[in-house]
Homo-oligomer: A and B are copies of this chain.
Amino acid sequence: MGGDHGPSVTLPACQAFLAAHPDAELLLVGRAEALAPAQGWARCRIVAAEEVVEMDDPVEVALRRKKDSSMRVAIAQLRASGEQPAAAHACVSAGNTGALMAVSRYLLKTLEGIDRPAIATVLPNERDRYTTVLDLGANVDCTAEHLLQFAVMGAALVTAVEGTAQPSVGLLNIGEEVIKGSETIKRAGERLREAGERGLLNFHGNVEGNDIFKGTTHVVVCDGFVGNVLLKSSEGLAAMLTSFIKQEFTRSAYAKLAALVALPVLRHFKHRVDHRRYNGAALLGLRGLVFKSHGSADAFAFEQALNRAYDAARHRLLDRVHEGIREILTAMPAAPDDTVAEPQPA
């Protein structure tokens, strides 16, 4: 039901997803009448939920008032109850991010040893691959321990979804040298290096903002404030450049002609940087797989979010995160002072 377009986008995406994945089953959660077009689809069941969390609903409304929301019912499908296994392996929503995180935390709880869940997304890089970045806004302040946990979770995500065996991890900083950054970042660097030396993680070292788009490492970890600014400023810069290119190619009769000639080339370029291709952020650290599609996603983009959730479930992302965190906790218990600072929710 969520996102800017609701079922007019999500239903066609689900149909395409089902066609492409003959072993997949879908539970569609929402208002029966809105989901009626899906009635009778093979490997698809409609789960009724009368309420909808609106894009601008405060977290409290999603959490306390709309108890029969499609978001909440969908997330609840991930919970086993007693002998009954969970109805679904993963949940995908295009709804309100803050509400999705809050309801997921409330219903699913965090994995043992995880202080705070994180949001991970991918950004394109010069190597024509993706760089996974986390956290993107779930936690405005982070301790060194949180950043270490983000590294473990991000690496597990890349292994599960992209099949990379030992994904490299970079710590986002303002210089490559270990003496750079705040006390928290320096301490995080020490913990990450230790994890690297113990073979628990493929830690590359500090990386800088440009390394994300160079593709220096598979994973880049940062606190949610920095990650959010980074993501939104990148979106803003890309939007500005796109608008400038459009303006230039419509500025004169000659420019319009040039645009016609250059169209196949520009299309190829556009495809290459098409953010719809990597839609689907992962909420990591929960006892269930929750993926967040961009609210403005079209059917193609929403299908990619479904694909990412499907790959994550099929390649046991939840177990991988759980195992990774358990290894770290056992081998490298946190010093008391690393867990003192209590960050605030975004």
Contact check, B225 vs A346: say whether CB atoms are below 8 A apart.
Answer: no
Beta-carbon contacts under 8 Å, A245-267 to B: 245, 248-249, 251, 254-255, 257-259, 261-262, 264-266
Given the interface contacts A241-B238, A268-B248, does A209 sit within 8 Å of B224 by beta carbon?
no
Contact check, B261 vs A233: say whether CB atoms are below 8 A apart.
Answer: no
Contact check, A214 vs B236: say whether CB atoms are below 8 A apart.
Answer: yes
Complex alpha-carbon distance, A238 and B172, angstroms:
19
Contact check, A240 vs B125: say whether CB atoms are below 8 A apart.
Answer: yes
Residues of chain B lying within 8 A (CB to CB) of residue A208: 228-229, 232
Residues of chain B lying within 8 A (CB to CB) of residue A254: 264-265
How many chain A residues sit at the interface, stated as a range, is 35 or more
Q: How many of these chains are in the complex?
A: 2
Contact check, B232 vs A234: say whether CB atoms are below 8 A apart.
Answer: no
Contact check, B182 vs A209: say whether CB atoms are below 8 A apart.
Answer: no
Contact check, B182 vs A344: say whether CB atoms are below 8 A apart.
Answer: yes
Chain B proximity of A146: nearest CB distance (Å): 14
Confirm or deny: A295 has a beta carbon within 8 angstroms of a beta carbon on chain B. Answer: no
Contact check, B237 vs A213: say whether CB atoms are below 8 A apart.
Answer: yes
A184-198 near B? 1/0 per residue, CB < 8 Å:
010000000000000
Given the interface contacts A229-B226, A234-B237, does A262 sit within 8 Å of B268 by beta carbon?
no
Confirm or deny: A37 has a beta carbon within 8 angstroms of a beta carbon on chain B. Answer: no
Chain B proximity of A341: nearest CB distance (Å): 11
Chain A interface SS verdict (over half)? helix
Beta-carbon contacts under 8 Å, A152-197 to B: 172, 174-175, 180-183, 185
Chain B proximity of A134: nearest CB distance (Å): 14
Of B175, B237, B244, B249, the contact of A272 (CB 8 Å cutoff): B244
Chain B proximity of A213: nearest CB distance (Å): 4
Residues of chain B lying within 8 A (CB to CB) of residue A16: none
Beta-carbon contacts under 8 Å, A215-245 to B: 222, 224-226, 228-241, 243-245
Complex alpha-carbon distance, A71 and B53, angstroms:
59
Contact check, B141 vs A182: say whether CB atoms are below 8 A apart.
Answer: yes
Confirm or deny: A68 has a beta carbon within 8 angstroms of a beta carbon on chain B. Answer: no
Contact check, B240 vs A126: say whether CB atoms are below 8 A apart.
Answer: yes
Chain B proximity of A238: nearest CB distance (Å): 7
The list of the 5 closest CB pairs from A to B, nearest first, reads: A210-B236, A209-B232, A209-B233, A213-B236, A174-B228
10 cross-chain CB contacts under 8 A: A125-B240, A126-B239, A126-B243, A126-B244, A141-B182, A209-B234, A209-B235, A212-B236, A229-B230, A254-B265
Point out residues on A near B: beta carbons under 8 Å.
Answer: 124-126, 137, 140-141, 172, 174-175, 180-183, 185, 208-214, 222, 224-226, 228-241, 243-245, 248-249, 251, 254-255, 257-259, 261-262, 264-266, 268-269, 272-273, 344, 346
